[in-house]
Amino acid sequence: MTDANAPLDAVLSHVDANIDQSLERLFTLLRIASISTDPAYAGECHKAAEWLTNELQGLDFDSAVRPTPGHPMVVGHQRSIAGPNVLFYGHYDVQPVDPIELWTSEPFEPKIGEENGRKVILARGASDDKGQLMTFIEACRAYKAVRGSLPVGVTVLLEGEEESGSPSLDGFLKENADELKADIALVCDTDMWDEETPSIITMLRGLMADNVEIQAASRDLHSGMYGNAARNPNQVLAEIIASLRNPDGSVAVEGFYDDVPELPAEVAEQWKRLPFDEKGYLGAVGLSEPAGEKDRSVLEQITSRPTCEINGMWGGYTGDGFKTVIPAKAGAKISFRLVGNQDPHKIRKAFRAHVEARVPADCTVTFHEHGASPASVVPSDGAMLQKALGALTDEWGREAAIAGSGGSIPIVGDFKRKLGMDSLLIGYAQTDDRIHSPNEKYNLESYHKGIRSWVRVLDALSK
């Protein structure tokens, strides 16, 4: 018996009363080894898509397994003519489990463990992203069970190739743009601020990446015969790389900071209020001193400020022992994390001009590009964002944070550019969930309160 006018508390109580069944359904999904990068698991990916489609159909979604050139998508609709309508995005594929010997339990046999006094769900995909996407489906289930309907129109889009570069996504979004378009996208693939504090990510850094190769002599030389007189491309490349950073930690490419905005005042103030353990963040990886711009906090350095990183460099002999070679070539892979309105193409041009100005006589430089995406920014004063923040604050009893993410989540840019939609990135994962690594976990509290959070967020968005 459903009651269309049941209060929000009744829906939340239903979540609490049925958490064991919600968990059992997640376990069923976690038992499917839907590793997308390994063709041997294609059948498992399909099985996960079928299972999710059935679940959505059981909740009255108009749902289907949708073929792509790769693993299928799952799409389900339960639209509202009155609106608003949301598009929920998640992914059902998972990372491989190597190195398997470091797992303390079977990656596809989920179980409950305990860590630091908290119960955790242990399995590949527990956090990334099966646990997260199931929080949303279970929230929908509670509404259907209590009220018989959802408070807003919902389209669910579940991808099966997120962990292998989303090769089919672009085409699928283009072909089904009208069907997928909604007032806002809800993306559940991110972390909380910390274990106590929920957050919505409104800033995602963009990326511009280039491969740089310096050639000097026409062949490798012997340093006994040519050392000193022959230009050494290792030395040239090192000098170029060294020139990319100023002594104060800022990036030295001309005009690099032109389109970098300051934090919105309300965000800057919130970040001063919210706890962020700089020492712990760096200390966890053996570091103690931030290496970026001296006048910026670690939090700013890793989320709201752009960076230039040397992701790889090579030249000459790198094996065991020693070889006194002067190589003909040396190379580097260099990427820039972008923020605000930095234009990746303009930054690429400025970067290449910076390099070219430092290539000495007898050397040539070759560039190969590896992608360019601008930062994604959701205005921090938007009405839907504010509603969702309020709902999260209510659920967790802590002021929900407006946060930035240092990495890019390409789907957010795709939704913006292809479907004209902003995204709200709401997730309940923790930074210590060991995603992509052995012994991946998801806090049981993240799952339970994650379901409750979506109940509140959907309610808030409906008002």
Answer yes or no whether residue 237 interacts with a copy of itself by CB under 8 A: yes
Single-letter amino acid code for the residue at 326: I
Answer yes or no whether residue 298 interacts with a copy of itself by CB under 8 A: yes
Interface residue with a copy of itself among 154, 207, 403, 421 (CB under 8 A) is 207
| Least Å from the CB of residue 228 to a copy of itself | 3
Answer yes or no whether residue 261 interacts with a copy of itself by CB under 8 A: no
Both tokens of residue 351?
A: 């970067």
Answer yes or no whether residue 238 interacts with a copy of itself by CB under 8 A: yes
Distance CA 157, CA 175 (A): 14
Comparing CA positions, the residue from 245, 241, 212, 243 lying closest to residue 333 is 212
Answer yes or no whether residue 407 interacts with a copy of itself by CB under 8 A: yes
Contact between residue 99 and residue 170 where contact means Cβ atoms under 8 Å apart: no
Interface residue with a copy of itself among 100, 291, 353, 357 (CB under 8 A) is 291
Interface residue with a copy of itself among 43, 67, 83, 371 (CB under 8 A) is 371
Report, in angstroms and rounded to the nearest whole number, the Rg of the chain calculated over CA atoms. Answer: 25
Torsional sign, CA 211, 215, 221, 227? negative
Answer yes or no whether residue 312 interacts with a copy of itself by CB under 8 A: yes
Interface residue with a copy of itself among 62, 109, 175, 362 (CB under 8 A) is 362
Applying the rule CB under 8 A, the residues between 4 and 63 that interact with a copy of itself are none
Choices 43-51, 175-183, 232-240, 389-397; region in contact with a copy of itself by CB under 8 A: 232-240
Interface residue with a copy of itself among 145, 282, 350, 372 (CB under 8 A) is 282
Interface residue with a copy of itself among 239, 254, 258, 269 (CB under 8 A) is 239
| Least Å from the CB of residue 334 to a copy of itself | 9
Hey, which residues does 460 pair with through a beta bridge? none
| Least Å from the CB of residue 435 to a copy of itself | 11
The label of the residue with tokens 């000495």 reads: 360
What is the DSSP annotation of 65-106?
A: EE--SSSPEEEEEE--SSS-EEEEEEE--B----SGGG-SS-
Choices 114-122, 172-180, 212-220, 349-357; region in contact with a copy of itself by CB under 8 A: 212-220
| Least Å from the CB of residue 362 to a copy of itself | 5
Applying the rule CB under 8 A, the residues between 313 and 332 that interact with a copy of itself are 313-318, 321-327, 330-332
User: Phi/psi class of residue 434: alpha, beta or left (left: φ > 0; alpha: ψ in -120 to 50)?
Assistant: left
- Cα dist from 320 to 220, 323, 324, whole Å: 18, 9, 13
User: Phi/psi class of residue 62: alpha, beta or left (left: φ > 0; alpha: ψ in -120 to 50)?
Assistant: beta
Hey, which residues does 87 pair with through a beta bridge? 155, 185
Answer yes or no whether residue 167 interacts with a copy of itself by CB under 8 A: no
Interface residue with a copy of itself among 361, 383, 397, 420 (CB under 8 A) is 361
| Least Å from the CB of residue 86 to a copy of itself | 26
Answer yes or no whether residue 224 interacts with a copy of itself by CB under 8 A: yes
| Residue with smaller CB distance to a copy of itself, 54 or 324 | 324
Distance CA 436, CA 100 (A): 12
Both tokens of residue 12?
A: 């939340």
| Least Å from the CB of residue 252 to a copy of itself | 12
Distance CA 28, CA 215 (A): 55
| Residue with smaller CB distance to a copy of itself, 69 or 319 | 319
Q: How many residues bind a copy of itself (CB under 8 A)?
A: 80
| Least Å from the CB of residue 331 to a copy of itself | 8
312-321: long-range contacts at Cβ-Cβ below 8 A with a sequence spacing of 24 or more? 313/237, 313/241, 315/233, 315/234, 315/237, 316/220, 316/234
Interface residue with a copy of itself among 137, 140, 221, 403 (CB under 8 A) is 221
What is the DSSP annotation of 335-358?
A: EEEE-TT--HHHHHHHHHHHHHTT
CA atoms within 13 A on the CB side of 160: 31
Contact between residue 33 and residue 41 where contact means Cβ atoms under 8 Å apart: yes
Choices 66-74, 173-181, 244-252, 261-269; region in contact with a copy of itself by CB under 8 A: 244-252
Answer yes or no whether residue 373 interacts with a copy of itself by CB under 8 A: no
